[in-house]
Amino acid sequence: MKTSRKEGKIIKAIKTRKIKRQNRSLGGDIFLTVLLAGFGIFSLFPLWYIVVSAFKPFSEIFIFPPRLTVDNPTLNNFFDLKNIIEGFDVPLTRYIFNTLLITGLGTGGTVLLGSMAAFPLAKYVFPGSKVMNQVIVYALMFSSTVTAIPNYLIMSRLGLINTYWAVILPAVGGTLGLFLMRNFMVQIPDALLESAKIDGANEFQIYFKIVMPLCKPAWITLIILSFQQMWGTTGGVFIYSEELKPLSYVLSQLVSGGISRTGVASAVSLIIVIVPVTVFVISQSNVIETMATTGIKE
Amino acid sequence: MKQSEKISREPFSVVWKKNKYKYLMILPFGIIFVLFTVLPVLIAIALSFTDFDMVSAPSFIGLSNYISLFVEDDIFLIAVKNTLFFAIVTGPVSYIMCFIFAWLVNELPRIPRAIMTLVFYAPSISGNAYLIWKILFSSDTYGWANAWLLKLGITTDAVQWLATAGYIMPILVVVQLWLSLGVSFLTFIAGLQTVDRALYEAAAVEGIRNRWQELWFITFPSMKPQLLFGAVMQITSSLSVSQLSIDLVGFPSVDYAGHTILTHLHDYGNIRYQMGYACTIAVILFLMMMLINIIIQKLLRKIGE
C-alpha cells in the first residue's frame, strides 16, 4: 500500500515536470558550470595549440608572443612531413600495415578472450572461481611496465622478440578488459541465464547468444580502450626491425627538435591524436545510445 | 558459500563434467595471462636475489640488492620520495577529478554531454601529444609561458622551466593531471548511467534535498564497483610515471628532480644492464602498488555502509 502511494507521488511529479530539475539549485548550477568550463579550457588548450601550430607558416611560428590563431593557414608543415617520410628506407604503407595488424589482433584478442573468460567468473561459482576472481583484481594493481624486464626474457625464450606477438600477447593478457567485462556481466539477471539453461544451452552458447548482445556497451567501450592502447604502442625494445615498427614509433621519432621544427612536430602530433579521437567520437555516440537503451536491471 | 564447499568435495571428474565449458572458456585467456603477467612477477622476484647482466647466468647473492638499494643508493631514496609525492598529489586529485567531471558531464543534455566527454577524455588518448607541453614550457622566449610572462612584464628573463629543479615536479603534476581523465573517467560515466533513475525519483519524494545528498546517499553506493575500479587505475598510473618524466624533463633530470622509481628502474634495466638490481627495484615498486591499493580498497569499501 505504502509503495503505491509513493509511486503515485512520483507519477504526479513527472507529470508536473518536476523530476528533471529536482534537487538542483541555481547557485550549484553556476558553480559547477564554471568548474566544467575552466577545466574544459585547460583540457583543450594544449590540443588547440597543436592544431594551430600544425597550420602555421614558418614565419608565424616566430611571432612574439605566440598567438593562438593562424593568419595565413598553410599545409606546408604536412608537405614537409611527407618529404621527410618519403626519405625513409621503409615505405609509409608498411608502417601503417604494421599498426593495423597489431591494433586489430590486439583489440580483437582482448575483447574476445577477455569477455569469454569474464563470463564464467562473473556469473558462476565453481571450484577455483573465487581464487581466479581475486587474482584478476590483484593483477590490476600493478602496471605492466614493472614487469618489462622479465617479460623481455620470456619473449626471447619463446622466440617472440621482434615479432608482432611480442606487443600483442602482453596486451591481450592484461586483466583490465576482463575486469571491465566481468563488472558489467555481474549485473545481468540470473533468471535470463537460467531460462536458457533449461532450454538446454551450455555456458558457451549462453555467453555467445545472450550475454554478449546484452553487454554491447561494455565491449564497445573495451574496443575503444584497447584500440587506443594498441595505437599508441611504439614497439619499444620488443620490436627492433625497422620494417616491423608501428606508425606511432615513426611519428614519435619526428616529434623532437627545437622551435624551428614546431610546425612539423605539431603536424605529426595532430595525426597521432586525430585517429583515436575520431574512433572515440564514432563509438562514443554508440556507447551512449546503447547505454541509454540497454538497461540491465533485476 | 555452502554451495561452493559442497562442490569442492566432489571428485575431479564430476567437477569437470559439471563445469567443463566454464574452464574451457577461461583457458585461452588463462594461458596468456599466466605467461605474460603471473610468470614475469615470479621471475622478477627470483632475479631480485641475483646478480644478472643478461650475458652470464644469474648468480645468487641473497639480499645484497635490497641492502644496497636502501643503504647505499641515495638516488633510489630520492626516486622513492619523488614517486610518493607525485602519487599523493596526482592520485587523489585525479581520482576526484575523474568522478566530479563524469558526474557533471552526465547531467548535461545529450549533445553537450558528448562534446564535453570528448574534451576531457581527449588528452588521455592523444598518445605522446603531451610533448606539446615541452613547447608551452620551453626555456627560450618562444615558449608560450615565457613569452606571456615577459610580455606582461612579470619576469625579465626567460625561465628555465624544465631545467630548474623547483619547477620540474609541479609541471609534471600539471601534465599528469591533464592526462588523467582516462579509463576511470569513462568507467564513472558508464557507472553513472547504470544507476537506476527511479532511485533518484524515489529519493526526492523521501526527502533527499539537494544534489550533494543525492550523490552521497544514492550515487556513491550504487556505483561502488566502478569507484573501486577507478581507484585502482588512478593509484597504479600515478605510481608508474616514467615516460612522461623522461620525455619532458630529460633523463637524468636536473638534480634528479623528476627522478621516479620507474626511471631508476629504466636506468639499471635499459642502460646499465644490471638486471638483478633492476628487478629488485621492480619488486619494491610492485609491493608499494599492492600495499597502497589494498589499503585504499579497504577504505573505499566503507562508502555508504
- For residue A54, the chain B residue with the least C-alpha distance is B132
For B125, the grid coordinates are 588518448
Q: How confident is residue A21, by pLDDT bands cut at 50, 70 and 90?
A: low
> Closest to B129 (Cβ–Cβ): which among A50, A262, A292?
A50
pLDDT at residue A16, rounded to an integer: 46
Q: How confident is residue A182, by pLDDT bands cut at 50, 70 and 90?
A: confident
Q: What are phi and psi of A201, to 5 degrees?
A: -80, 145
Cα gap A161→A148, rounded to integer Å: 13
Q: How confident is residue B194, by pLDDT bands cut at 50, 70 and 90?
A: confident
Dihedral sign, Cα of residue A177, residue A180, residue A183, residue A188: negative
Beta-carbon separation of B190 and A127 below 8 A? no
Cα gap B197→A246, rounded to integer Å: 45
Q: What DSSP letter does each residue of A21-82 carry, written as one string?
A: GTT--HHHHHHHHHHHHHHHHHHHHHHHHHHHHHT--HHHHT-SSPPSS-SS--SHHHHHHH
Q: How confident is residue A288, by pLDDT bands cut at 50, 70 and 90?
A: low
Beta-carbon separation of A147 and B120 below 8 A? no
- ipTM confidence: 0.82
Q: What pTM did the predictor assign?
A: 0.85
Q: What are phi and psi of B60, to 5 degrees?
A: -70, 125
Q: What are phi and psi of A159, to 5 degrees?
A: 70, 25
Beta-carbon separation of A40 and B116 below 8 A? yes
pLDDT at residue A7, rounded to an integer: 56
Beta-carbon separation of A204 and B210 below 8 A? no
pLDDT at residue B304, rounded to an integer: 57
pLDDT at residue B283, rounded to an integer: 94
For B14, the grid coordinates are 564430476
Query: What pLDDT, in 10s, does the model give residues B88-124?
Result: 999 999 999 999 999 898 888 878 888 899 999 999 8
Q: How confident is residue A290, by pLDDT bands cut at 50, 70 and 90?
A: very low
Lowest mean pLDDT, pick from A65-79, B56-70, B81-95? A65-79
Mean pLDDT over residues B6-23, rounded?
Answer: 79
Beta-carbon separation of A46 and B24 below 8 A? no
Query: What pLDDT, in 10s, does the model give residues A186-224?
Result: 878 888 888 888 888 888 899 998 889 888 878 887 888
Peptide bond into A213 cis (omega under 30): no
Q: How confident is residue B260, by pLDDT bands cut at 50, 70 and 90?
A: very high
* Chain B residue numbers touching A114 (CB-CB < 8 A): 29
Q: Are B174 and B161 in contact (CB under 8 A)?
A: no
Residue identified by cell 586529485 is B93
Q: How confident is residue B82, by pLDDT bands cut at 50, 70 and 90?
A: very high
CA-CA-CA-CA torsion for A48, A53, A54, A55, nearest 10 degrees? 100
Query: Of chain A residues 205-224, which have a CB less than 8 A from chain B?
Result: 207, 217-218, 221, 224
Q: How confident is residue A287, by pLDDT bands cut at 50, 70 and 90?
A: low
Average pLDDT, rounded, for chain B: 86
> Closest to A23 (Cβ–Cβ): which among B4, B39, B210?
B210
Q: How many CB atoms lie within 10 A of CB A220?
A: 18
pLDDT at residue B2, rounded to an integer: 43
